[in-house]
Structure 1
Amino acid sequence: MNDISSGRTFPRHSVDMLPVEDVGIDAINLEQVAAHIAQARSRGRYEGPTEPMEYLKHRKCIVPYDDDLRATLAGILCFGYAPQTILPHAVVDIGHYRGSEAVSFDVVHLEKGIGGTIFDQLRRVEEYLWRNTHHGMGLSDRGLERVELHEYPLAVIRELVVNLLAHRDYTLIGSAARVALYRNRIEWISPGGLPPGVTIENLLEAQAARNPGLQTILHEAGLVEAFGQGLDTVVSVLRAEEMQPPTFRDIGTAFIVTIYGRQMDRDAQSSLTLNLSPSQRRIVLLLQDRGEMTISDIEEALPERSRRMLQ
């Protein structure tokens, strides 16, 4: 079989467990494999062989090829020393824009070719999105209990980055996965569209894994809870947060998930203060402005009439 990075057409199913020509086991970081095994066992997600080489064979991260052992795409992406020297297209591009369109004069940040292992990519993309979206505090429905408000729930960001990396078509040479952050939404753009048999209509019911080897390893790492439940989790979390549902598009060459952010200013000034008295609104604004405050701090900062409301 030809080198997977040469542009050859491969079967769509289980391509992640096929050998990559001329890439031996020396491309795999065995210390990282050992750490993964230990963590997976501590999570109760793995009970197989514990010796790194045996684990790699068990998970088809290395497979026989021409009387030798060759690394597979799953092995390289999860445990490779330098995955992009072998698979240069297995990267993520981030585009961050001030407005709602991808135009050059609205660029905040462009970062092409985020590489490393699939775990490195997940961490870097998740950290960028979390660091560059809005976070605040508000009051719960129960009174003066402060609660965190986030423009995008962390669980949604994580699930969709994992989905992007686990289900993209790695046989499309020259196509990077992309994440676009706009003023009002985030788009996750996965090369290859949906796997055969999966449509927008049956997306939440179908359980077709394009890269089952990758998905199994991500499950062991605690990044995938159960096969076929990632997008269900996204839908459920957004519903619980009373946010807009995700939109899904399959354009053939890519699968696109769009999430619209919580309108932080409107939520803070409307849903959190809708039924509050003027004195209660002053307390909300104080907490949002100053952060942690004791009852005594609040009493000192309020006029006498508002202080009586606290008693």
Structure 2
Amino acid sequence: MRSTFNDLDFELARQLFSPLNKPFTKSTANSLELLVDYQGSQYPTKGALLLFGKDRNRLFPDPFIRLARFEGVAKSEVIDQAEIKSPLPLAIDEVLAFIQRNTALGAKIHSARREDIPEYPPAAVRETVINAILHADYSTQRSPIQVAIFDNRLEITNPGPLPFGLSLETALSGVSQLRNKVLGRVFRELQLIEQWGSGLNRISSVCLQQNIAAPKFEELDHFFRVTLYPRTAKVAPSESWHISIIEYIQQHGKISAMEAEKLWKLTRRTATSRLKKMCQAGILVELSTGPFDPYKTFILAEPRNQPRKT
């Protein structure tokens, strides 16, 4: 049965746009491509129904997001679980609330006041959740977004690999091919995202700035997963080839790809790949004007993330 204009919850849309002083009208819906013309009538797009569809059980019998808190570090015993099929703008806060109640909260005392410290950095968690919702493949409704919380990590997995022709390395450099453009437009209008293509970089940057182990990004067949590590996790052990670069930068202050190539006695391509991996691990910071800057250099990140000789 074809969905109609009446299947959209325009009142919900108005409530979400109102705090931003943005009126939501039928003209707004058309400009955001929530509606399409077909044989003289207007019908909601799939993105519109995901965002503002009314009858959720009829439109989407399976959940969009499945969440679980597991005991220990494996998917054995479930402590808490939930399923979400709410309109996507509302689903974000529901996911964040589940994660908050199932992760630890530390504290830091500043003279007479107490500062609560979440186990995972909220900005990185929020960015990861939004990234998964934006880039999920909703054509297969029986493969929901999965949020899995363990004692030692938080995994957020969405159905749908990176778009064809987009490598993980390219995605981490800030290049993006948005799978769900209607969702992207609305999320941007609602100020849920700042700019397309900056999500993965922002997740890494937040962890680096807070001296937390670098997140892990994986393509798993037809899925994409981001793994976040808690503040208590130790930075992963370094590779032996890290040491020579660390010592060079400690002596010279910085290093270029050409200098790393000579130091490692490798090709430029392999040296550049290694330097990027060290950046992703939170060991180095790249200084450049863009991904293709021929004069880019690398410096040491925070001392906590520098590997030691053994």
TM-score, shorter chain, exceeding 0.5: yes
CA distance in 2, matches of 1:29, 1:146: 42
Preserved CA contact (<8 Å) 1:84 1:91 = no
Query: Hey, what does 1:161 align to over in structure 2?
Result: 129
Query: Hey, what does 2:68 align to over in structure 1?
Result: 95
* 1:121 counterpart (91, 105, 117): 91
SS in structure 2 at match of 1:187: strand
Counterparts of 1:1-311 in structure 2, within 5 Å, are: 22-40=2-20, 42=21, 50=23, 52-89=25-62, 91-103=64-76, 106-111=77-82, 113-139=83-109, 146-205=114-173, 206-263=175-232
Preserved CA contact (<8 Å) 2:8 2:48 = yes
CA distance in 1, matches of 2:105, 2:44: 42
CA distance in 2, matches of 1:89, 1:65: 28
Preserved CA contact (<8 Å) 1:84 1:116 = no
- Equivalent position amino acid for 2:96 in 1: E
Could you tell me how far 1:144 is from its partner in structure 2? 7.9
- Equivalent position amino acid for 1:150 in 2: P
List per-residue Cα deviations over 1:129-188 (Å, max 9, x = no partner). 012111121257xx8875432210111111111111111011124111110000010100
CA distance in 1, matches of 2:146, 2:177: 22
SS in structure 2 at match of 1:203: helix
TM, length-normalised to structure 1: 0.70
Query: Hey, what does 2:241 align to over in structure 1?
Result: none
SS in structure 1 at match of 2:171: coil
Could you tell me how far 1:198 is from its partner in structure 2? 1.9
CA distance in 1, matches of 2:29, 2:48: 7
CA distance in 1, matches of 2:78, 2:60: 28
SS in structure 2 at match of 1:183: coil
CA distance in 2, matches of 1:82, 1:161: 24
TM, length-normalised to structure 2: 0.70
Q: How many residues are matched?
A: 233
CA distance in 2, matches of 1:89, 1:197: 30
Could you tell me how far 1:55 is from its partner in structure 2? 1.0
Root-mean-square deviation over aligned CA pairs: 2.1
Could you tell me how far 1:192 is from its partner in structure 2? 1.2
Preserved CA contact (<8 Å) 1:97 1:182 = yes
CA distance in 2, matches of 1:145, 1:33: 40
Preserved CA contact (<8 Å) 1:249 1:255 = yes
CA distance in 2, matches of 1:96, 1:169: 24
> 5+ unaligned residues in a row in structure 2: which ranges?
235-310
- Equivalent position amino acid for 1:119 in 2: P
Could you tell me how far 1:51 is from its partner in structure 2? 5.3
> 5+ unaligned residues in a row in structure 1: which ranges?
1-20, 267-311
- Equivalent position amino acid for 1:29 in 2: D
Could you tell me how far 1:262 is from its partner in structure 2? 1.3
